[in-house]
Each structure stands twice: as structure tokens, then as C-alpha cells.
């Protein structure tokens, strides 16, 4: 079974600074997808960024980028120029087509952005 681990229950960053959230996962599959989701207090799960395992190039979406280390099974999220609106719970998640694309989530990291 696949597992996803986020070892940082809470993180904080100053506005305009950079923060990195960590995620590791375990799988025996070679073809899969990794995601970072943001969940504000409204509960709406919002996709931040996605990485296909077969792509060596790290995904980027504006101020958000990932460091995908396939051999180490590590998938960290870097948020640059942090904004107050970035404050939320962040979840790392895994899925693959062999599992019907069901998502396996980590425990989450609560990000606080200080003005």
C-alpha cells in the first residue's frame, strides 16, 4: 500500500519570504502522480501543483514549485514571496491509474504567514 508522510505539523513564514514544506511517500509503483493541495478554513480542497512521476523536470506554478526526488521518494513544495492568502493547511497526496486514481493524503502541514 502507498503511504504519504508529512513530518511538519506546523510551519510559519514571514510575508514575502520563502518556505518549504516537506513530503515523503512510499510506493512500489513506477508510474504515479503527486499533488499538493491547499485547504483553507472554508474546507475547499484546492489543487496547488501536480507532478507526473515520469517527468524529471520539477513542476512550477507561479510562486509555487516542487523539488521531486524520485529515488528518495521525496516531494517538497516551495512557496516563494509568501502572501497572507497562502495561510492554510497543505496536503501532499499520491495517486496512480492502477488504484483508480484514488488519492492517498498525508497528515497535512498548517502554514501560518506572519505580516
Partner 1 sequence: GAGVSQTPSNKVTEKGKYVELRCDPISGHTALYWYRQSLGQGPEFLIYFQGTGAADDSGLPNDRFFAVRPEGSVSTLKIQRTERGDSAVYLCASRSSGTNNEQFFGPGTRLTVL
Residues 6+ apart with CB under 8 A from 90: 21, 36, 37, 38, 39, 48, 77, 108, 109, 110, 111
φ/ψ of residue 53, rounded to 5: -65, -25
Stretch that binds partner 1, among 17-25, 43-51, 60-68, 76-84 (CB under 8 A): 43-51
Is 105 exposed, middle or buried, given 0-12, 13-18 or 19+ CB atoms closer than 10 A? middle
Which residue among 22, 33, 65, 70 contacts partner 1 (CB under 8 A)? 33
In the complex, the smallest distance separating the C-beta of residue 53 from partner 1, rounded to whole angstroms, is 11
Which residue among 11, 20, 22, 45 contacts partner 1 (CB under 8 A)? 45
Which H or E element spans position 34?
strand 33-39
Residue 84, classed as helix, strand or coil, is helix
Q: Using the rule CB under 8 A, is 57 a contact of partner 1?
A: no
Q: Using the rule CB under 8 A, is 91 a contact of partner 1?
A: yes
Stretch that binds partner 1, among 14-22, 68-76, 78-86, 103-111 (CB under 8 A): 103-111
In the complex, the smallest distance separating the C-beta of residue 83 from partner 1, rounded to whole angstroms, is 22
Residues that bind partner 1 (CB under 8 A): 4, 33, 37, 42-47, 50, 91, 93, 95, 97, 99-108
Amino acid at each position: 500500500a502507498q503511504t504519504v508522510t508529512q513530518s511538519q505539523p506546523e510551519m510559519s513564514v514571514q510575508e514575502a519570504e520563502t518556505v518549504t514544506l516537506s513530503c515523503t511517500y512510499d510506493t512500489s509503483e513506477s508510474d504515479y502522480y503527486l499533488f499538493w493541495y491547499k485547504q483553507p478554513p472554508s474546507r475547499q480542497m484546492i489543487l496547488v501543483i501536480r507532478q507526473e512521476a515520469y517527468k524529471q523536470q520539477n513542476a512550477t506554478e507561479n510562486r509555487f514549485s516542487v523539488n521531486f526526488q524520485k529515488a528518495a521518494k521525496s516531494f517538497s513544495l516551495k512557496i516563494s514571496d509568501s502572501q497572507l492568502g497562502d495561510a492554510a493547511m497543505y496536503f501532499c497526496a499520491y495517486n496512480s491509474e492502477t488504484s483508480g486514481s484514488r488519492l492517498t493524503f498525508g497528515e497535512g502541514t498548517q502554514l501560518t504567514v506572519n505580516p
